[in-house]
Amino acid sequence: MDGIVVEGESLIDTAALTGESVPRSAKAGDEIISGCVNGSGTLKVKTTKEFDDSTVAKILELVENASSKKAKVENFITRFAKYYTPVVTIGAVILAILPPLILGGGWAEWIQRACIFLVISCPCALVISVPLGFFGGIGAASKIGVLVKGSNYLEAVAEMTTIVFDKTGTLTNAQPVLERVIAFGDYSEDEVLKIAACLEEHFPHSVARAIVKGAADKNLYHAEEHAEVQYIVAHGIATLLHGKRAIIGSCHFVSEDEGVEISEEQLAEISEKSGACSVIYLAIGGKLAGALCISDPPRAEAQQAVARLKAAGIDNIVMLTGDSEKAARLTAEKLGITQYRAQVLPEDKHFY
């Protein structure tokens, strides 16, 4: 259920709901939407909505309504059969009874004619063929991995001029990766990555896994001689490394909470090189040692899929995401998407 944090601090994963690929911090006073995954720490949450009004309940309602919708032609055939079937049945009964009584003749002959009339006029083929055609289309789409939630959506494809994609998990892999490392002072990029991986190995959230994997891929990962690691919930990690205090975390944590000075030149360089990435800062001995850029890259086939849609005549391609404006813009540019909407909540996406 949705609620507000009244006590505690933690990192929460909202990728399944908002599309944010990097866990965000939550502390007292912050709103929590249902469906988030708590990554670390303990949170005491006061619920603000009943389940029927929660974010998850609204998403379930959207899915259920979508799966129950029929195409216009199906609705027409259903209404048509509702009146046509009893009319045909009553007509056949009248044809079997009235002519023998009024015109005379054998009952068997008119009953036979009534049966012929009933068979010829029966709407079964018409009523069955229309939904069967849609079922066949939905089944064929499912064989190639395309889920169609209702016949009306399949019918709409024939006249489609606009297509809307969600970003995280659809156009991207929803698995953060280490994009690049920026080093400062006497430290090299490899040293920054090696130290960061040794600190992050203790905490199994997605950003930490990305950093550790990045170091392992370069054969840089090995245990450092450091004291016991201190995890400051929702902020970062601190330890003693060769007698110097080493910290890793957000810019706010490193610069304001820990008092590490970050110059305007360093911030400008990080901003220029990081692009749409989320940035993790590493400081050693009270000085900024480096920054690690974490991104959620597009799927390998996403750019080709967008290009093929444009080739098919669908020029208006839109991307919706709960991620930041900068991340949305750069992802759209990589994929050739001209329109996007950032920081959109799941229950609001259908308005677009």
8 contacts 30 by C-beta, under 8 angstroms: no
Helix (H) or strand (E) holding 331: helix 325-335
Catalytic residue, candidates 166, 257, 323, 348: 166
Task: Show contacts of 22-25: CB within 8 Å, 24+ apart.
Answer: 22/176, 22/206, 22/207, 22/278, 22/294, 22/296, 23/205, 23/206, 23/207, 25/234, 25/235, 25/250
Q: Identify whether 166 is a catalytic site residue.
A: yes
Question: What is the spatial distance between Cα 199 and Cα 194, in angstroms, rounded to a whole number?
Answer: 9
Rounded alpha-carbon distances, angstroms, from residue 282 to 128, 163, 184, 204, 308: 66, 41, 10, 18, 42
Q: What SS3 class is residue 207?
A: helix
Q: Give the residue numbers annotated as catalytic, written as ranges.
A: 166
